[in-house]
Amino acid sequence: MSPRLPRARRPRPAATPLTATALRVVRLNYGFQLLFNLLWWMPVFYAYQKDAGLSDSQIFGIQSIYYVAFCLFEIPTGLIADRIGTRNCLRAGAVVMTLANLAPVFSASYTGFLVHFLAIAAGRSLTSGAASAYLYDALQAERCGDHYLKAEGTARALGLAAKVLCWPLVGPLMAVAHPAPYVLSALSAAGSLVCVVLLPRLAPQGEPGRTPAPERAGKTGRSAGAGAVRARRGRGTSLREARAALRCIASSPWLTLVMVQGVAVFTLSRICQVNLFQPILLAQGIAESSHGGVLAAMTVAEAVGAARPQWLSRRFTPVTWVSLLSLALAATLAGMTFGGPWAVVALLCLFAAATGFAYPVQRKLVNDAVPADAPRATVLSVESIVDRAVCALAAIGVGAYLSAGRLDALLWHSALATVLLMGAFHLVLRRGTERYGTAAAEAERGTDDVPGEAPERFGSADATAPTDAVRAESRDVRTRAGV
């Protein structure tokens, strides 16, 4: 038998070095994401509201109102971001978040907490799509778009690492000053405002030195140049921006599918890590003084996953990986019904790690699916609306389950709903691939590289399904096939 020769490995393509402006954007984005999302009150807000005299139905009722308000705020704030600029929108969000965290300090009542969460919804909706859109467009303008995935994941990882260091201190700080978690959250939000003020202004695409990167231009030969942007903004009203975003989503089945896929990841992670985290620990007899430490351990696991999406094997596509990670989230929820305190803590950490891996991959899929000439912040706000709308319904169900003492049933039903959603998603994806022919299949395979392995393919707009050329070719395929 002749010896088998070793297979030569394909060298990884070198990433474009960061320019001075791009490096400044990335570093300030790290600071903004870290401070804006550093909510010191997160490990204790359920018990804090309980101590203030609120019932379970009131607490989860506020959460449901919060998600609904988030949906309503996303509509105008996404339009505002595309009209006044993403940087100005980030400034407004940081100011609102600072004031929001001070509300419970002055009124620790149902009204105070309701105002607090409504203001949190407004502040986060101002930044949810604008932050991602600013970072993506700023790096593309500097021809450093292949650094976006790493920048997004590292920013999330740094923010999670800060929570690991801060959350275990919440208990001792509350013993000194009871409202300390909310005061410190307000100070952190004020620090994020400083980072936003220092962010450079984005130059309109098409200006000298700011021509669109090659990957932002479609195969039809049109690009997101200054003329198209100025024409769209000059004649368009906010309503037209919204219509443009909706037309973009309606005309791009691929964009719609990846947005729907993200619903499972966002809803499960949000409901478990925010709304169910403390009830699950209390049901296992874990004292409130240990909640900060457990949440810190979960955050470490999520930070590792968020910072290393390139650890995911290239054997599966990013779309498949997001689905597999969603199923892993469902499995951990179901497993919590069998274990004791230590097993539940371990499963919560596994849950957090899967969330960390899934988030940057899902963000990259959605951003790459948005056409270059579309109002990006508005499209991302529409995605956020869908996510929060599902969370609003889920929060109502969580309150009903917990009021009836059916926590185990809630975990099992959540896992089952995730499995059904992922099954339906891949069924639609498979039928769509068969319907639209080889062009759509090749477009989907264009994003098969795992993030970090080959950024020029995974991050290229020419390699994603929602381009005009791919849709035109798909229509030609259907016409020739008589579909």
Residue type, 26: V
What does the alpha-carbon distance between residue 90 and residue 134 come to, in Å, rounded to a whole number?
Answer: 9
Query: Residue ranges per domain, the chain?
Result: 20-202+237-481
**Residue 20 CB neighbours (<10 A):** 8
Do residues 134 and 199 lie in contact, with contact meaning Cβ atoms separated by under 8 Å? yes
Q: Please spell the DSSP secondary structure of 401-467, one letter per residue.
A: HHHTT-HHHHHHHHHHHHHHHHHHHHHHHHHHHHHHHHHHHHHHHTT-SPTTT-HHHHT-GGGSTTS
Extended beta strands in 23-92, E state? none
**Rounded to whole angstroms, what are the CA distances from 148 to 89, 203, 268, 424, 462?**
20, 18, 25, 30, 16
Q: Determine the angle formed by the axes of helices 148-166 and 110-141, rounding to 10 degrees.
A: 150
Contact between residue 402 and residue 159 where contact means Cβ atoms under 8 Å apart: no
Residue 233: what pLDDT?
45
Total H helices, total E strands in the chain: 20, 0
* pLDDT given for residue 194 in this prediction: 93
Is CATH 1.20.1250.20 correct for 20-202+237-481? yes
- Residue in the structure block whose two tokens are 């089945």: 253
The per-residue pLDDT for 63 is 85
Each residue's pLDDT, cut to its tens digit, for the chain (483 residues) gives 444 444 444 555 555 787 888 889 899 999 998 999 899 998 888 888 888 888 878 888 898 898 888 778 866 766 676 677 788 889 999 999 999 999 999 988 899 999 999 999 889 888 877 888 888 888 888 888 788 878 887 887 788 788 888 888 887 888 888 889 999 999 999 999 999 999 888 765 444 344 333 333 333 333 333 334 443 444 344 566 667 777 777 777 778 778 878 777 888 887 787 778 788 888 888 876 677 778 888 878 887 887 777 677 677 788 888 888 888 888 898 888 887 888 888 999 899 888 888 887 887 888 788 877 777 767 777 777 777 778 778 877 887 888 778 888 888 988 888 888 888 888 887 776 655 544 444 444 544 444 443 333 333 333 334 444 444 434 433 333 333
Q: Tokens 């809803």 — which residue?
A: 267
Q: How far apart are CA 126 and CA 123, in angstroms?
A: 5
Cβ-contact 444, 433 below 8 angstroms: yes
pLDDT at position 296 is 80
Q: What is the pTM of this model?
A: 0.60
One-letter identity of residue 294: V
Residue pair 210/204 in contact by the 8 Å Cβ criterion: yes
Task: Give the other-Cβ count within 10 Å of 328's Cβ.
Answer: 18
CA distance 130 to 125: 9
Please choose, from the candidates 249, 266, 277, the residue with its C-alpha nearest in 3D space to the C-alpha of residue 388: 266
C-alpha of 70 from chain center: 14
Write the single-letter amino acid at 389: A
